[in-house]
Chain A
Amino acid sequence: MTPPALAIQNLSKTYDGTIAVNNISFSIELGEIFGLLGPNGAGKSTTINMIAGVSRIGSGSIKIFGFDNQSDSRTTRRLVGVMHQEIVIDNFFTIDQALRFHAGYYGVRDDAAWRQRLIDRLGLKPHLHKVMIKLSGGMKRRFMIAKALIHKPRLLILDEPTAGVDVELRHTLWEFVREINQQGTTILLTTHYLEEAEQMCDRIAIMNHGDVIALESTSTLLKELGTRSMLVHLQAPIKELPDNLCCQAVELDDSGTTLRLTLSASQSTGELLKHLCDINLPIADIETRKAGLEEIFLQMTKAGKAKP
């Protein structure tokens, strides 16, 4: 049986008495794009740092393609490429020099064709012989992606790769990530842009206060936990909220002419409409909207809701 790309078992980490990661377990299958989401301080970067070997494991285990990242760290590090959240560069060298060095650190001979492909795809060519200190923030991020991929890792970890970058780079990056994923690279990514996670990830884990509070396929997460909202515009203002609306939440705007109704995933829109007609609400127009990952994320992290 082929081992998963990443298997995390009962992983914990404490900093100065504060639990950063609290006994989490999950695995990432070969060829998956897996999203690890959570608010700042949720424990995502700590988890990633333990996987990559930047931080020591508190307790638990991490296996990468079946190899233990403590006892067989030399093998696991060769299999992983990491793009860190912070900009990590060596100002002494040019992009071209640094990429060659990085291949060497991983024990891999410089593959000129692969290096050139990374340079071309990430738009690094015009800046290839500039020292890092002269590059713009976006260009440094592009370089960091190339650096993470230079040794052809089987698991690519992207820790908030699009934080603070322009739209063009985001498109370039996601297009390229999809391309390398289709060629067999497993991807673990964190992002604060939940729309991106919704579009990119096969499965998503949501972390909060060091715990994994949700772990589902993206479609299941949206289906099971997704809410819908309905805006009901009225012909004449009302003073009080109608009774027995059977919604998760009801709000009336200040003018008294618009009702915002929040429906659960399982609630029937037809039944609600029928009920609104039965109570003789003077309906002028109706708008419906499906909640995205962003709303789900906010619901879960605010409520601290635990889900197995």
Chain B
Amino acid sequence: MNQHQEPQFIAWLPFFTLLQKEIRRFLRVASQTLVTPVITASLYLFIFGATLGERISVLEGFSYAQFVIPGLILMGVINNSFSNVASSLFMSRYLGNIVDLLVTPVTPTQFIMAYTLAAMLRGLAVGLVVWLISCLFATLPWAHPLAAIAMACLASFLFAQFGIIAAIHADNFDSLSMYTNFIILPLIYLGGVFYPISILPPLWARLSHLNPLFYLIDGFRYALLGVGDLPFQVSFGVASVMALILFCWAASLIARSYRLRN
């Protein structure tokens, strides 16, 4: 305990430890964090791939299952990236064990990076499994594989930042679930997961362009199928700007320890 025995400080160890802890946290309850979202996505795949899908055609040259799979993959990525960081950080605030981090030399940068990376890993893991299961129903052409990976990473990053913001602003479990029920779900469903925006009446189509999820879903679909409502550069560009804005917002909250320190 005296100075001669003082342990050596390793600057990035706090980050790796927090990342490891966050990953182990969601793996420990894998039935909730990984299996449940995959089952939900599989049900959608079954309904739209094996039953109703055969009677619906929205995009020339592709089955309805092929059309809907990119949106379902991204829905898994988005929901799980968001809920991983939102639930973990909010629970830490709610139960008070956030002080365990506040008294340590974990920096704001390390804090955001660890929570974001863990959330991205969970989101991307769910997305990967949903894609593997989707192979039972339809094969995707993977027109631009690197673009698809970039868009999935961007979507998970963006919603990890949104999860941090929600976890900090939420006062209780109800207000946290409002972010999912009243913001994320409507945006996903109205963002073109189940239909192309181009088939909507002009007013609704224009309104859909205000939905940030539309750019993520359309860009991801373009990368997988080679067809989209917008050029990939536009979708990716708009999504990148949104991710940057949310990152700056989340970083500002963490750097100021907003609602974390008294």
Contacts and interface: CB of A to CB of B under 8 A. Distances in A.
Contact of A88 (B6, B99, B257): B99
A174 interface: no
Contacts of B230: none
Nearest to A97: B24
Contact of B13 (A55, A89, A97, A107): A107
Contacts, number: 104
A228 to B, nearest CB: 39
Given A53-B102, A55-B262, A88-B99, A105 B17 contact: yes
A111 B7 CA distance: 9
Contact of B9 (A56, A90, A108): A108
A49 interface: yes
Interface stretch (B78-86, B104-112, B131-139): B104-112
Contacts of A233: none
Interface string B5-25: 111111101101110110011
A30 to B, nearest CB: 10
B106 A54 contact: no
Interface string A44-80: 0000010011111000000000000000011101101
B233 interface: no
Interface stretch (A178-186, A191-199, A219-227): A178-186
A21 to B, nearest CB: 12
Most buried by A among B10, B13, B14, B104: B104
A74 to B, nearest CB: 4
A203 interface: no
B103 A53 contact: yes
Nearest to A100: B17
Given A53-B103, A54-B262, A88 B97 contact: yes
A184 B3 contact: yes
Nearest to B25: A92
B174 interface: no
Contacts of A106: 9, 14, 104-105
Given A88-B96, A109-B10, A152-B5, A104 B102 contact: no
A295 to B, nearest CB: 34
B1 A88 contact: no
B1 A84 contact: no
Interface residues of B, number: 37
Interface in A125-152: 147, 151-152
Interface in A91-124: 91-93, 97, 101-109, 111
Nearest to A82: B103
Contact of B262 (A49, A73, A104, A185): A49
A88 B5 contact: no
B11 A107 contact: yes
A108 B28 contact: no
A86 interface: yes
Given A109-B13, A152-B5, A77 B261 contact: no
Contact of B100 (A73, A90, A185): A90
B97 A90 contact: yes
A54 B97 contact: no
B47 interface: no
B101 interface: yes
Interface string A241-262: 0000000000000000000000
B7 A56 contact: no
> Number of contact residues on A: which range applies?
35 or more
B3 A54 contact: no
Nearest to B9: A107
Most buried by A among B17, B257, B261: B17
Nearest to B17: A104
B74 to A, nearest CB: 28
B1 A180 contact: yes
B1 A78 contact: no
Interface in B55-112: 92, 95-97, 99-107
Nearest to B28: A92
Contacts of A152: 1, 5-7
Contacts of B11: 107
Contact of B105 (A15, A78, A184): A78
Given A104-B17, A152-B6, A54 B104 contact: no
Nearest to B2: A184
B148 to A, nearest CB: 33
Contacts of B17: 101, 103-105
A86 B96 contact: yes
B100 A78 contact: no
A86 B18 CA distance: 22
Closest 9 CB pairs of A and B: A104-B17, A184-B2, A105-B104, A55-B262, A183-B1, A108-B7, A74-B105, A107-B9, A185-B1
Interface of B: 1-3, 5-11, 13-14, 16-18, 20-21, 24-25, 28-29, 92, 95-97, 99-107, 257, 261-262
8 contacts: A15-B262, A54-B102, A54-B262, A82-B103, A93-B21, A106-B9, A107-B105, A109-B10
Given A54-B262, A111-B7, 11 more contacts: A52-B102, A54-B99, A74-B105, A82-B103, A90-B92, A102-B104, A105-B17, A108-B10, A154-B3, A180-B1, A184-B3
